[in-house]
Structure 1
Amino acid sequence: MIKKEKITDKKRALLNATLTLVNDHGFHDAPMSKIAKLAGVAPATIYLYFENKQDLINNLYLEVKASFSDCAFKGYDNTMPVKKGFEIIWYNIADYKLNLVNEAAFLSQCDNTPMIDEEIRKEGLKHLQPLLDLWDQGKKEGIIKPLSIFVLYAYTIYPLTFLMAMQQRNLYTLNTKVLDETFQAAWDAIKL
């Protein structure tokens, strides 16, 4: 039992170190040696848990994507009216991005890099399935514009990433009023 806890701690330390280094220096300036050093393990230890750096990055991506979806769909029920369901999901995502800044920054980097394998990216997209289903329901009911999921995401969720980045740089402040206005703008962008 003690041995298993140590293994989990080392794996967790490696994932946390990777998250930190990628956020601070980018994917290419986060070599395995630095990851191991920051995690406080021998470099060879990485290979007990991951095949290579690509496997480590892909695993971290899927783990962070899973935590993102756990937060995004908290309190959501697929029997809710489309707008109410979208509102809950949208505010949950905003909460995630405001409170789990490192994880949100990592996911943002993942959106803009070829480092994530396409197969893994598609697997990560499955974590958003309740939102995609909600949008499909909204299209069928004539509530949401018949646009691709990528356009819907670009107009509703991606602006949050931009605003969070501006807040991190102290160029903008996201308060309740701004979040409410931003949600309304997102909804207005996709509703029929």
Structure 2
Amino acid sequence: MSKLEKRDEIVRAALELIAEHGFHGAPMALIAERAGVGAGTIYRYFENKDVLINEMYQELEEKIFPVITEGYGELKAFRERFLHLGTALLRYFIQNPLDFRYLEQFHNSPYGVATRRERLLGVREGCDVYFHLFEEGIAQQVLKDVPLPLLFALSFGPLLAAARDHILGFIELDDALIARTIEACWDAVKR
């Protein structure tokens, strides 16, 4: 197994274990076992578990960004861009339930809180297409003039709940229901 393949196996094992058992239920030794590598091998790629967790988040963000922005630049109207991003993100989560479950763990942990705080304060850069869209919407008076965290909650809260319920088998999100869900998110934030 090449170095890149070993690293990929470690990341995949960590993703699965963290999605299944949370951060505390995924010790490095168990990740190594699931990846089929020695426990010390992980430390050749990641200094510690915190580095692994943060790098995994960064890699997922970089993986999702091109998916949700494909075709985005061609859309002109603000509403259409909002609907495009929401639809693409919800579809991504449905198609990649492990990624979704990892991101939920991350965002509801101290790691995610720190990342969110840094982004909202402008300290941390990243794939911030939503951040820029929301700033533009407030400036153009297209969106409700409420604090940015509230716009994120009104936009993502229902979307995340729908993705979670779909993954758990409580609802079946087809194209029509995805469109209605994203429209409801739009209705929550538009002026």
**TM-score, scaled to structure 2:** 0.89
Q: Which deviates further from its counterpart, 151-160 or 90-99?
A: 151-160
CA offset digits 1:128-160 (Å, max 9, x no partner): 422211111111211111122211111112212
In the alignment, which residue of structure 2 is the partner of 1:70? 66
Task: Quote how far apart the aligned CAs of 1:79 are.
Answer: 7.1
Counterpart contact for 1:87–1:183, Cα < 8 Å: yes
- Equivalent residue letter for 1:126: E
Question: 1:117 deviation in Å?
Answer: 7.9
Q: Contact 1:78/1:134 (CA < 8 Å) preserved in 2? A: no
Gaps of 5+ in 2: none
TM-score (norm 1): 0.89
Number of matched residues? 188
For residue 28 of structure 2, what is the amino acid of its counterpart? M
CA 1:125 to 1:172, structure 2 compared with 1: closer, same or farther past 3 Å?
Answer: farther
- Corresponding position of 1:56: 52
Q: Which runs of 5+ in 1 are unaligned?
A: none
What residue in structure 2 maps to residue 131 of structure 1?
A: 130
What secondary structure is seen at the aligned counterpart in 1 of 2:23? coil
Alpha-carbon distance in 2 for matches of 1:121, 1:13: 31
Between 1:46-55 and 1:129-138, the stretch displaced more is 129-138
Distance 1:134 1:116, change over 3 A: closer
- What letter matches 2:50 in structure 1? Q
Counterpart for residue 11 of structure 1: 7
Please state if 1:151 is matched with 2:143.
Answer: no
CA RMSD, Structure 1 to Structure 2 (Å): 2.2
